[in-house]
Amino acid sequence: MPKPASLFCLLLCSAALISSCTTIPQRSSPEWIGFTETGGASFYAMRYQFQATASGERLNQMASTAAHKELPFGTMVRVTNIANGESVVVKINDRGPFVEGRVIDLTRSAFSEIADTSVGVVQVEIVVIE
C-alpha cells in the first residue's frame, strides 16, 4: 500500500499535469481590433450545455460567448443583426461554426439578444472591439 506522502505527491503531480494541458484564454492582438466579417450567425443546441469548448471552458447557454473559426480565445466581438440593427457583445471561447456561410455560433441567450431563436440563422456583421 502506498504511503500517504507518496499518494499526495502523485495527486499533486497529476493535478499539475492536467492544469498545464488546459488552454488559457487570450486577448486578441491589436491587429485584430476593427476586423469585420459578415455572414450567418446561429446558436448552440441545448445538448451542448456544459460541454467543454475548444478553449477548455464549459459551454454556458446563459453566458455571452461564441465560436469563431480563427479569432483568438478571449476576443470580444460586437455581433449586429443586419436586419434589425440589434447587437450583442460576446467573448470568443470556441471554434466553429463549421457550416458553409456561417461566421459565428452564439450561445442561446446571446442569440436571443439580437433575434428570435425560432429563426435559427440570421445575417450579421461582426466587429472585433477588444
Residue 54 lies in a domain: yes
Beta partners for 16?
Answer: none
Residue 45 lies in a domain: yes
Percent of the chain with pLDDT over 90: 74
- Residues 102-127: what's their mean pLDDT? 97
Residue 94 lies in a domain: yes
Residue 67 lies in a domain: yes
Name the residue type at position 69: K
Evaluate if pTM is beyond 0.85: no
Residue 32 lies in a domain: yes
Specify the 3-state DSSP secondary structure of 14. Answer: helix
Q: What CATH number is given to the structural domain containing 79?
A: 2.40.40.10
- With contact defined as beta carbons under 8 Å apart, do 56 and 72 qualify? no
Specify the 3-state DSSP secondary structure of 102. Answer: strand
Beta partners for 125?
Answer: 38, 80
Residue 4 lies in a domain: no
pLDDT of the residue at 22:
44
- Residues 12-22: what's their mean pLDDT? 39
User: What pLDDT, in 10s, does the model give residues 34-73?
Assistant: 999 999 999 999 999 999 999 999 999 999 999 999 999 9
The domain of 47 spans 24-128
Residue 12 lies in a domain: no
- Cα 118 from Cα 44, distance rounded (Å): 13
Q: Looking at the 3D structure of the chain, how many domains does it have?
A: 1
